[in-house]
Structure 1
Amino acid sequence: MSEADGWVVPVVGGIEEIAHRYDGFILDVWGVLHNGVEPYPRVVDTLYRLKRAGKRLCVLSNAPVQAETVAGRIEKIGIPRDAYHHIMTSGEEVWQHLKHRPDAFYQGLGRRVLHIGPERDKGMLDGLDLERVEDAGAADFVLNTGPGEPADTVATYQPVLDAALARNLPMVCANPDLTVMRGPEVLICAGSLAQAYEAGGGTVRWHGKPFPGVYRTCLALLGVADKRRIVGCGDSPRTDVAGANAAGIDSLLVAGGLHADEYRFVPGNRLDPQHLTRVLTDGPRPTAVVGRLNW
């Protein structure tokens, strides 16, 4: 029990226990639907069960690429396109902003972009009136989609971050996640680089969870009028729980993802509410916790 206020996080054994409360589900991808290599057991069946029950499903990923790219990637992993209704990504939100320049920040960015990220993300520049440059000295802004190689660390990019800081270049971060799971490994994401850039005094425009813009888009896609009938499901208190809470919807924390060890998640075992309460009480508080997205 939380010593401060008596809060104890509710733990549910499966989605069936709470499905009746909701008409719309916003679903994280990595750590909830799959581990970067394959879907978690029974997840696809759960998605189809929710659809058959008349629930509206919107997949929401902090992936630094467009939504169609993620749909194709998770289909190859084993999550069919007909298992959900809609898909949105932080990268899609960035692309739309770079395309349409909807506010003063984007209108002032300029056209010469230094891309920090792997070659597989270069499609983020397709269809945009931008010139890709190779060093900070020639750039108007930085587009950060994450590390180029799995083994990279923040230190790998410190020289380019320092060069961008020296010119006071604004950064657009296309993935606020700090880390992600790929099988059993934990790798850094664009958010770790953006965090270091901010710590050095740089300006960062963040997109995706937990920021409100992407939730407004998902709520519009779901078309559920009563926000009390919508729940956001994810494995990160920092992004998924905080984002859902700020959007005025319920949040379901999935314990078997990125923080499985911290939450003492063991497949097949009941989660310990007291331990989870101690771990979660000082951060964003979920409406409930489930081990995995199973029925």
Structure 2
Amino acid sequence: MRMLDGVAPLAERYDGFILDLWGVVHDGRQPYPGVADALGRLKAAGKRIAFLSNAPRRSFVVDALLTGMGLDRALWDGTMTSGELAWRHLKHRDRADFAALGTRALHIGPERDLSVPAETGLVLVDRAEDAEFVLNTGPEPARGNTDIEPYRAALTACAARHLPMVCVNPDRHVMVGDQRVLCAGALADLYLALGGPMAIEIGKPDPACYPPVLELLGLSDRSRIVAIGDSPHTDLAGAQAAGIDAVWALTGLAAHAHGATPDPERLAAEAAAEGVRPVATLAALRW
């Protein structure tokens, strides 16, 4: 597996870049060193850049977060999130599984994710007895984001009523600074273990995420597009399923798992275990 220190060699091969956000562009608090410079150099070279994130909130919310971190909005061409995709399905009921959900949802997640049910016709309720499905966007401040046990009672009540779940972030964990925290996917796993009937996961690694991103890029030749992400299970697997080359960023979750001096053989073994074949690894999103 080719090991790259920065993205400059990729600029020679690809016209479009699909970048994961959390763990690649930023750590949940601030951009990684060198990111703004790398994005600027790619744009100056005429490259198209889109962000594809499993963030459980709409794209405009994420764009505002990024500019709030100090990134210039001119550095990327568009953003697609799992929250944006879920909002579209809830709004338009364009899939059979969403059409069957009903309109009364028990939301598990923080207030910052309320852009997902907004303007969809959903009524948010507080009790499982009043709900037709569970809208899971991740852990809440009151119950915490490091221990799954505070969610067991609520999920047990929902499973007892056989409520379907919409999981708006298939990630199981993410790094916030140097802390590993829960994501909605971990709650979905517990829900199924408790007897929940189904969890509809919206986001990577579903290859259906990628056509909307190609529209943002304005590119159709997938052989000239590369996706960069830190998670083999979501970022790399999703790109591979969509027929797009993938590069494994050794930041975020990968840095947590493999440290500052990753072992190439261990990286290869983990990729093989996930069934993915990244074209290279990337030390960081820098030039």
TM range (shorter): over 0.9
1:294 is matched by which residue type in structure 2? R
Tell me which residue corresponds to 1:6. none
Tell me which residue corresponds to 1:3. none
Q: Tell me the distance in 1 between the aligned counterparts of 2:187 and 2:40.
A: 37
Partner of 2:257: helix, strand, or coil? Answer: coil
What is the TM-score of this pair, normalised by structure 2?
0.95
1:280 is matched by which residue type in structure 2? A
Q: In the alignment, is residue 278 of structure 1 matched against residue 273 of structure 2?
A: no
Q: Tell me the distance in 2 between the aligned counterparts of 1:122 and 1:67.
A: 13
TM superposition shift of 1:248 = 0.2
Tell me which residue corresponds to 2:239. 244
TM superposition shift of 1:281 = 2.7
| 1:288 paired residue among 276, 280, 285 | 280
1:83 is matched by which residue type in structure 2? L
Q: In the alignment, is residue 61 of structure 1 matched against residue 66 of structure 2?
A: no
Q: In the alignment, is residue 86 of structure 1 matched against residue 66 of structure 2?
A: no
Partner of 2:255: helix, strand, or coil? Answer: coil
Q: Tell me the distance in 2 between the aligned counterparts of 1:75 and 1:223.
A: 23
Tell me which residue corresponds to 1:184. 178
Partner of 1:242: helix, strand, or coil? Answer: helix
Q: Tell me the distance in 1 between the aligned counterparts of 2:147 and 2:127.
A: 19
| 1:258 paired residue among 233, 253, 262 | 253
| 2:96 paired residue among 99, 104, 113 | 104
- Paired residues of 1:256 and 1:265 also in contact (CA < 8 A): no
Tell me which residue corresponds to 1:124. 116
| 1:223 paired residue among 209, 218, 224 | 218
TM superposition shift of 1:272 = 4.3
Shifted more, 21-30 versus 277-286: the winner is 277-286
Alignment: residue pair count:
283
Q: Tell me the distance in 2 between the aligned counterparts of 1:183 and 1:257.
A: 9
Tell me which residue corresponds to 1:135. 127
| 1:30 paired residue among 8, 22, 27 | 22
- Paired residues of 2:160 and 2:195 also in contact (CA < 8 A): no
Identity of aligned residues (%): 47
- Paired residues of 1:263 and 1:279 also in contact (CA < 8 A): no
Q: Tell me the distance in 2 between the aligned counterparts of 1:28 and 1:56.
A: 14
- Paired residues of 2:174 and 2:252 also in contact (CA < 8 A): no
TM superposition shift of 1:220 = 2.1
Partner of 2:80: helix, strand, or coil? Answer: strand
- Paired residues of 1:237 and 1:285 also in contact (CA < 8 A): no
- Paired residues of 2:57 and 2:112 also in contact (CA < 8 A): no
Structure 2 segments unaligned to the other structure (5+ residues): none
Q: Tell me the distance in 1 between the aligned counterparts of 2:195 and 2:156.
A: 10
TM superposition shift of 1:78 = 2.0
TM superposition shift of 1:152 = 4.7
Q: Tell me the distance in 2 between the aligned counterparts of 1:273 and 1:19.
A: 23
Q: Tell me the distance in 2 between the aligned counterparts of 1:23 and 1:148.
A: 39
TM superposition shift of 1:168 = 0.8
Tell me which residue corresponds to 1:167. 161
Q: Tell me the distance in 1 between the aligned counterparts of 2:71 and 2:180.
A: 22
Q: In the alignment, is residue 233 of structure 1 matched against residue 228 of structure 2?
A: yes
Q: Tell me the distance in 2 between the aligned counterparts of 1:265 and 1:234.
A: 17
Moved over 6 A (4+): none
Partner of 1:172: helix, strand, or coil? Answer: strand
* C-alpha distance 261-123 of structure 1, shift in aligned 2 (>3 A): closer
* C-alpha distance 159-26 of structure 1, shift in aligned 2 (>3 A): same
